[in-house]
Chains A and B, each alone.
Chain A
Amino acid sequence: MKTLKVFAGLFVLVWVSMGQVSGAGAGALLQDLENQLMCKCDDKCGKVLINCTCATSDKTRAKFSKMLESGLTVEQIVKMQVDEYGETILSAPTKFGFNLTAWMTPFVALVAGGFGVRKVLQAWVGKKTGSGSEETPVAEPKISEKYSKRLKDELDGIEL
């Protein structure tokens, strides 16, 4: 039994160590930056920088590559862009102040909806069980357990 436990432990250890962790290289940093910012081309294309293929976006990418190579972090570059163009340059709302409502509202609505559904279900289930209890109990015919189980299994599988 002890040997079995050791083998099981070893297996879990090997299995966990087999998991891969991806690293973030320079390309990934640029990609991250491109994801966070909108393209500011003259056509007002309204695309996230990573999705834009216009000439302005190519120049912006080259500029950002150089900035990253010079040692600036993604956060610093993003801040510089926001200072220059305002919040509209960001591809998503910030996570503080009024903008937080953008992030919170969908989940708040979902949780509230979840409670609502639960309440509705409880009421519906309660109605059914409640109506049953009011009726005069009828003596159930004795059915052998074997047939009762079979009936239950078949009822479970029935498509109404």
Chain B
Amino acid sequence: MNDIGEFTLLVALATALYGCVAYVMSARGNRIDLYLSADKTPFIVWACIAISSICLWKAFLTDDFSLQYVWAYSNRELDTFYKVSSFWGGQKGSLLFWTLLLSTYMLVVYFQNRSKNLRVVPYAMAIMLAILVFFLFLINFSTNPFERIPLPPEDGRGLNPLLQNYWMVIHPPTLYLGYVGFTVPFAFAVAALISKNLDDGWIRMTRKWTLISWFFLCMGNLFGASWAYVELGWGGYWAWDPVENAAFMPLLIATAFLHSVMIQEKKDMMKVWNMSLILLTFAMTIFGTFITRSGLIQSVHTFDEATLGYYFLAFLFVIIVACVALIISRLPLLKSANELDSFLSRESSFLFNNLVLLGIAFATFWGTIFPIISEAVRGVKITVGPPFYNQVNVPIGLALLALIGIGPVIAWRRATLSNLKKNFLKPLIAAIVAAVVLYPFIPLGSRTEIYTYTTFVLCVFVLASIGTEFYKGTVSRMGLHEESVVGALATVTWRNKRRYGGYIVHIGVVLIFAGIAGSQAYGTHTEKHLQPGESFEIRGYTIKYEKLIAVEATNIKTRIIAQLAVERDGRRYWTGHPEKEFYKGQNQPVSEVDVLSTWKEDLYMILADFREDESATIKVYVNPMVSWMWTGGWIIAFGTMISMWPDRLEQRRRLDRVRKQEQLFPAPAQE
């Protein structure tokens, strides 16, 4: 099986290379024979990579330790669930997984578009195949997952205990689906540049791909935060680690892109800007893989054998240079009318939204690379950690939050004074009321607390502005048709899925802002060393340490569990079981926290230490509003689903628009 896996990888590389060249030649020379030949390659490449992946999975599931990769990331005792996820536990497998996802996306694009726009699609397929060639080259010649061990050992080294968590099965694939997904809009953008088809066709063809990729990247970030929260045992969820930053930056740039393409679709403006944004988004996804696989920047996420940095750096360089050259060469074709009715308009607010999003992305990028700059300039490698990002990004983030509230209520084209008064009055009153009501209850002794207060007030402003939009739509619908409030609200949302789906996504974002602000400013924690039967208090909870339980979970894993009774108002409220897991051959035990999560706050318990006399050190955090963030994530998922749902009405409207344009500007007569 391993030989088959290795062989199919080579076949995939050769086929991808051929497909890439054949697609380009067929498009350039109008050669239908070459096109028909090239058109078979996406499926062959995908099939080869899929077979290779199945071979690697089989090696994991059958404990084939003759493969160095299986030996390094699995062992006989490992749960089947984690044997499946060990596939992407190390660098070699993660690259193969990336390639598998990319080839699958490419196959879907191929089936979706092969009979459409024959001027753009062949180039888009060629770009995707070229990217696959790069990854397949690395897998075949630099980091082969099918590398053998001459004398196979009896057992494997095992998967890092920190990775033995159910999030390991969910978080990396979700994040990869996001990262890899941006290859599709990137490929279509470059194809549009090469083929000089620079209307908004490529945007329409890839709009859903962009949304899907954005959604997966967003959820991947949130899942990662959730994983860190339950697994790393420090009471937090985001550490501004370089690799976390690497996943955050493309999300910000893609968000800017999703907003600015609306202006291109509506007004045929900002073509160069949108091209640049999607190219930058893709470049940032490659920058993320560069960080994880270079070992150049210290990170907890870096792979053990991070040796591919220079390959990715070279690839990144080629992409950036080629794309910039392409954009410059197509500048005359990318020129658009670029006219605005007024400085005060939704178009302007979108431009400022882009500026702020890119500002946060740049600050994050700058913080991530500053240690390298400092070392190059001063010879001193410094650390850029959370205090930097919090101080720099929080004020910019607040500006972004304010813009989320301004966007929906400011008019397209031109916002007049009367229009501003009418639309902003209610959200502003709501914000002022919130500011007055919250003031007595919220401490304002530090910068963090002032930021948090401001965040809450802005959250109310944004929710009120979104609420106003839903209200206006519902009331006008009720006025025209005899419908109930719920019916009218549902119809309005369903008939304008893109617009109202977007508003729902914004509600999710607001909850995430509120959750971050609340948990950062008002959390508290304490640590106590206790004998069984002793107790302590924290924020109205009485935590009583009852006993220590030892469980031999498997031959290699021992669990030490502390049983903690949580009492409130003299009554038993909940029983917590934080634990430490000891794995044979691992120096450090792994903490498994226990969390009582409510809307108000999380009671987060850690077994920090224990002794032979059964005394234990218990650390308890009270983290307010953390669950708001996770809820915000699900609301984002719901809103994205609504936005992406096929909309016949919108398609009809677009067709009408095209027909009208054709009537106004008839195509030149054929000679």
Contacts and interface: CB of A to CB of B under 8 A. Distances in A.
Interface of A: 15, 18-24, 27, 35-36, 38, 43-48, 50-55, 58, 86-93, 98-99, 102-103, 105-107, 109-110, 113-114, 117, 120-125, 127-128, 131, 152-153, 155-160
A86 B374 CA distance: 14
Contact of B608 (A58, A93, A120): A58
Contacts of B298: 44, 46
Interface extent on B, as a size class?
35 or more
Contacts of B356: 110
A74 to B, nearest CB: 13
A157 B412 CA distance: 8
A77 B235 CA distance: 25
A47 B374 contact: no
Contact of B234 (A36, A52, A124): A52
Interface of B: 232-234, 236, 239, 241, 266-267, 269, 298-300, 337-343, 348, 351-352, 355-356, 358-359, 362-363, 366-367, 370, 374, 377-378, 380-388, 391-392, 396, 411-413, 415-416, 418-419, 422, 436, 439-446, 449, 472, 496, 499, 526, 588, 591, 606, 608-609
A100 to B, nearest CB: 12
B355 A128 contact: no
Given A110-B359, A113-B359, A156 B419 contact: yes
Contacts of B370: 93, 102
Contacts of B591: 53
Given A19-B439, A103-B392, A131-B339, A121 B386 contact: no
B359 A106 contact: yes
Contact of A152 (B234, B363, B374, B416): B416
Given A48-B239, A53-B591, A125 B341 contact: yes
Contact of A92 (B342, B366, B388): B388
A98 B588 contact: no
Contacts of A160: 266-267, 412-413
Contacts of B374: 93, 98-99, 102
A157 B355 CA distance: 26
A73 B483 CA distance: 67
A87 B382 contact: yes
B355 A114 contact: yes
30 contacts: A19-B440, A19-B444, A20-B440, A21-B444, A22-B446, A22-B449, A23-B445, A24-B445, A27-B526, A45-B300, A46-B299, A51-B236, A53-B233, A53-B234, A54-B588, A88-B381, A92-B387, A92-B388, A102-B370, A106-B392, A110-B356, A110-B359, A117-B352, A124-B338, A124-B339, A127-B337, A128-B341, A153-B419, A157-B411, A157-B472
B575 to A, nearest CB: 23
A68 to B, nearest CB: 15
A48 B298 CA distance: 13
A129 to B, nearest CB: 9
A35 B339 contact: no
A106 B355 CA distance: 12
Contacts of A21: 443-445
B239 A51 contact: yes
A15 B440 contact: yes
Nearest to A21: B445
A33 B666 CA distance: 71
A98 B338 contact: no
A36 B391 CA distance: 13
A91 B412 CA distance: 44
A22 B359 CA distance: 32
A117 B270 CA distance: 12
A117 to B, nearest CB: 5
B234 A121 contact: no
B378 A20 contact: no
Contact of B412 (A98, A103, A158): A158
Given A125-B341, A159-B412, A93 B388 contact: yes
A107 B393 CA distance: 10
What 6 pairs between A and B have smallest CB-CB spacing? A18-B440, A106-B363, A91-B385, A22-B445, A20-B443, A92-B387
Nearest to A35: B387
A136 B338 CA distance: 22
Contacts of A89: 383
A106 B593 CA distance: 37
Nearest to B420: A156
A11 B416 CA distance: 36
Contact of A43 (B422, B445, B588, B606): B588
Contact of B340 (A91, A92, A121): A121
B386 A35 contact: yes
B189 to A, nearest CB: 21
B234 A51 contact: yes
Contacts of A109: 359, 362, 366
Given A46-B241, A152-B418, A159-B412, 4 more contacts: A102-B366, A103-B388, A114-B355, A159-B499
B266 A98 contact: no
Contacts of A46: 241, 298-300, 383
Contacts of B351: 117, 120-121
A93 B445 contact: no
B232 A53 contact: yes
A105 B366 contact: yes
Contact of A127 (B339, B352, B446): B339
B391 to A, nearest CB: 8
Contacts of A54: 588
Contacts of B418: 152-153
A38 B382 CA distance: 11
Nearest to B359: A110
Contact of A15 (B436, B588, B608, B609): B436
Given A22-B446, A98-B374, A128-B340, A117 B355 contact: yes
Nearest to B370: A102
A91 B359 CA distance: 22
A51 B591 CA distance: 13
Contacts of B342: 125
Contacts of A98: 374, 377-378
Contacts of A44: 298
A15 B298 CA distance: 49
A120 B338 CA distance: 9
B388 A58 contact: no
Given A48-B386, A51-B239, A93-B384, A121 B348 contact: yes
Nearest to A122: B343
Given A23-B445, A91-B387, A127-B339, A15 B300 contact: no
Contacts of B396: 106, 110
A23 B367 CA distance: 31
Nearest to B446: A22
A105 B368 CA distance: 13
B384 A102 contact: yes
A119 to B, nearest CB: 11
Most buried by B among A46, A54, A98: A46
A79 to B, nearest CB: 16
Nearest to B228: A51
